[in-house]
Amino acid sequence: MADTSRPPERRPPSVPGRGDRFRRGGRGLTPMVHVKGIWILLVALAALPIGETTAQQGTSGIQGRIVDRITRAPLEGALVFVLGRQIPVASDGEGRFRYAGLEMNSYFVQVQRTGYVTTTWEVPVPADSFVEHELEIEPLETPMLAPVVVEAVAPEDRTWYLGFERRRVAGEGQFVTRDEIELRRAPSLGDLLRTLNGLQMFCNRRGCSIQMTRTRCRPEYFLDGFPADRTTVERMPVTDIFGVEVFNFFQVPVEFQRADLNCGVIAVWTRRGPPPR
């Protein structure tokens, strides 16, 4: 009759695969395996306990601190695995971790962290107590790349010019092009527009301004497609002007229509054009 009083055979914990080598000796623990690669942390990291495992069988455990081997700085968020068990723990802000629920045995402990070499140690665990270790991991060597300088010329926004040309070709209104501006060399906008039909200069002690001849009203001004102050436009340097459009009240295109419009429109375009829109 078989002896059923014998305790079940204890299985050893999972160990690194064939070809892995390790050393024992010196003070503390000596790393066994260095796997050079970056561990990608996915959503599972959010579900990990921070610093300590949940209650498991066994009254022993492993605790300690994870540090950078070079700077000795504590590392937060390093994953501590006990090979052969499902749940890792993550180190806290001081680099500390606590893996509870183990039995007396020798365990393979693996630490993984983004930007560091994955490292494994063999850690003996006594009965009914926690063993304390400071585990050092080495940062990955990041190659220094030569700086890359990207240069490009921003495309010039001249879409407004297409509208200018379209209205000029349509023949409604009067237009002054850049070539005409350079040919006339007028000292002011008023002098530049003096020869156009339907406009006249009105002067008094405060200065001169442009008026529509038929209705004797002051036209509305647009600068680079936006409503503008009369004084600002009339006093701007002619050398800054690329083109001018002049419309009487009945010719004003939809681009320059306003609810309170009661006179004609003078639209001035500068050499720099409107800001990108």
- Predicted local distance difference test score (pLDDT) of residue 71: 94
Q: State the CATH number of the domain containing residue 182.
A: 2.170.130.10
- The two beta strands, 130-137 and 60-68, are parallel
* CATH number for the domain that contains residue 90: 2.60.40.1120
Q: Which of 146, 187, 167, 193 is nearest to 252 (CA)?
A: 167
Structural domain span for residue 215: 159-270
Share of the chain above pLDDT 90, in %: 42
Reported confidence tier of residue 138, pLDDT bands at 50, 70, 90: very high
Average pLDDT over residues 201-214: 82
Between CA 243 and CA 240 the distance in angstroms is: 9
At residue 40, the pLDDT reads: 36
pLDDT at 206 over 80: no
Per residue in 31-45, pLDDT (tens digit) is 654 444 333 333 334
pLDDT at 148: 79
Secondary structure, 3-state, 191-223: HHHCCCCCEEEEEECCEEEEEECCCCCCCEEEE
Residue 154 in domain: no
Query: Which pTM value belongs to this model?
Result: 0.43
Of residues 137, 139, 108, 111, the one with CA closest to residue 125: 108
Parallel/antiparallel/unpaired status of strands 89-90 and 33-35 = unpaired
Is residue 245 located within the same domain as residue 180? Answer: yes
With CA atoms as reference, report the closest residue to 122 among 22, 12, 51.
Answer: 22
Question: What was the pLDDT predicted at 274?
Answer: 52
Distance from C-alpha of 216 to C-alpha of 218, rounded to nearest angstrom = 7
Among 137, 170, 190, which residue terminates a domain? Answer: 137
Total domains in the chain come to: 2
